[in-house]
Amino acid sequence: MALGERIAHSLWGSGGGPGTAVLRAAFIPAGWIYGLGVRLRNLSPASPERLPARVISIGNLTVGGTGKTPLAAHVAAILFRAGVPVAILSRGYGRRSREDTVLVSDRERVLADPARAGDEPVWLARRLPGVPVIVGADRARSGRIAIERFGARVLVLDDAFQNRRIAKDLDIVAVDGRRPFGNGRMLPAGPLRMPKAEIARAGAIVITKLGPEDDPGPVRRMLQAMAPRARIFEGRTVAVELRDLLTGKALPLDYMRRRRVAAMCGIAEPLAFAKLLSEEGIEVAGTFPYPDHHAFAEDDVRRVRGAAHAIEAVVTTEKDAVKIDPAWARGEPPVLALVTRMEIDDEAAFAAILREAAGLGARTG
């Protein structure tokens, strides 16, 4: 975790010494100002543009990882399997390109790298062959490209709950089941990007980041009271297999069970990644966290290999793997990516909501 991220999480918590308490108090007025700005912006928003396609938005209320991009992939996959022409639109956070619009995937090929498009859009493009992925700050413009060029009938907007410029048919909000709203304060005094009362706009809520032993009941009841019109689901990240970055070969999870590995990642919650590996019976000898959306270099791989002793593999996330040149994985120990998927507790009901939003009716059969 980068220094700025560590400071932020320290300030948003309840611990720390007198100095932390002073800084925490100093940020509270800034949070009030930020929140006021959000409320004023939402008082009289411009009329949202209605695109000639159905629009499903995936988003959250807080900064940090709530699993919204894997959720966007899951939504698009359900629609694609149902035969719906679907496209994914992303802002491409962390990209270095200044291009207005980047075509990441044309259904058949991945056309952009993480520097141009951002790591998450490239991961989406690789994960979902057959689904166009377009990056751009202007979602309406990206949407028109998807409609005109690819015949998209449904647009899935990744990280767009705050976007009020496009009319939506369904807003899905991902909420961290362990820390739904952090300390309840707005940025920079807390992790909230918008007032938590805004969750009442959601048509569906997916409680994420739940471990095998976590009880979602209290969070589910709280969210139902806050958003009585929303359907609430539970989403869990499930490990599927490992993939060798050098050879591309898929390996069963049993291959690394009871073996020591180093966990290398550049995500918002590196400890959650290490915990997932441990839950699969893989012994994590060391965790090597980098800032979220970190642009990996060969030296990073070399450093982890040199710093971790008596390990049998370096394991990273799928999102990070798109930024690692397979040539860097030559040598020992091997570099593997953990392949995961999202599972929804009531998949049939979730798919029915998506079909209805897509204009297909509520039937799942």
Backbone angles phi, psi at 5, to 5 degrees: -65, -40
User: Looking at this protein, which amino acid is placed at residue 264?
Assistant: M
pLDDT digit string (tens) for 4-62? 455 556 567 655 556 566 666 777 787 777 777 777 777 655 789 999 999 999 999 99
Residue range 331-337: mean pLDDT, rounded: 96
Residue 43 pLDDT: 67
pTM over 0.85: yes
Lowest-confidence segment of 188-197, 237-246, 351-360 by average pLDDT? 188-197
68-81 helix and 347-357 helix, angle to the nearest 10 degrees = 80
Backbone angles phi, psi at 15, to 5 degrees: -90, -160
Residue with tokens 């022409």: 85
By percentage, how much of the chain surpasses pLDDT 70? 91
Q: Give the SS3 label for residue 357.
A: helix
pLDDT digit string (tens) for 135-169? 999 999 999 999 999 999 999 999 999 998 999 99
Residue range 171-184: mean pLDDT, rounded: 93
Q: What is the DSSP string of 68-121?
A: HHHHHHHHHHHHHHTT--EEEEE--TT-----SEEEEE-SS-B---HHHH-HHH
Using a 10 angstrom Cβ sphere, with 0-12 exposed, 13-18 middle and 19 or more buried, the burial of residue 128 is buried
